[in-house]
Amino acid sequence: MTQSNHFDSIADVFNRIWYFSDAYKEFVTTHILEDLSLGSEDILADIGGGTGSFTSRLGYEASLLKAYCIEPSSAMCEEASKLENITPVCSDAHTFVTSNTPFTKMLFKEVIHHLPERGAFWKLLHPILPQGGKMLIITRPKNIAFPFFASAKEVFARHQPSQELIETELKEGGFEIITHLRSHTFTLAKEDWYTMLRHRFMSDLGVFSDEEIEAGIEEIESIYTEETIDIIDNLIFITATKK
């Protein structure tokens, strides 16, 4: 299943199945606002913005001049078009950057592993960003702390570029970088977590059949015996600035 087809298949339920808490959303939003220094004169390009829920939230909280939700999935873009304060663009990152659309800040939230030819992309992006323009990459370590089943953790690790690799690529692209490691823990009912897994809320889960997902849930069930489950999210925030 391709990335685009995977997200097309869950677009209509994506916002409902993403059970992460309000406190979690506030945690991520606050750090994005701070790391990108978002303000009312900024134009944000949110790459892989999905249904636009975070794009919209950032647009309101920072009173952004404009906020683009850049998303290759047409079904996700259709969902994003229902939000009044953002502009959805059904496009990949490379096409958007070369479209001569002005922007001052760029966000890659949990999608950097989908970006092909990253080194070439950073070198393409650097001259396009205005002086002092910033880009923020939010990603996870290869060894994810989520309560996944073993084979899901293996798939995630295989697809995830390391922090060190991303940092090296950005420096070679001409950016100055600052990295922060941050963690947030919240608790979900296990059935809510299992619903997210069954809907394959992360693209890495798209390779598993229904039967494999159910077997994975049984594996998780054998480890976590309570009715709730703690979700530990270790996040890497890499801010790249054009000086």
- Mean pLDDT of all residues in the chain? 92
Q: What is the pLDDT of residue 40?
A: 97
Residue 13: pLDDT over 70: no
pTM of the predicted model as reported, rounded to 2 decimal places: 0.91
Amino acid making up residue 87? T
* Percentage above 90 pLDDT, the chain: 83
Domain range 3-241, its CATH number among 3.40.50.150, 3.40.630.10, 3.60.150.10, 3.30.450.20: 3.40.50.150
Q: What is the pLDDT of residue 19?
A: 60
**Structure token pair of residue 193:** 């977590």
185: Cα within 13 Å, side-chain hemisphere: 6
Cα–Cα distance, 233 to 229 (Å, whole number): 13
Q: What is the pLDDT of residue 18?
A: 54
Strands 134-139, 87-89: parallel, antiparallel or unpaired by DSSP?
unpaired
Selection from 178, 196, 98 nearest residue 135 by Cα: 178
Q: What is the pLDDT of residue 20?
A: 72
Instruction: Read off the pLDDT of residues 174-209 as tens digits, 9 standing for 90 and up.
Output: 999 999 999 999 898 999 899 989 989 888 999 999
Residue 43: pLDDT over 80: yes
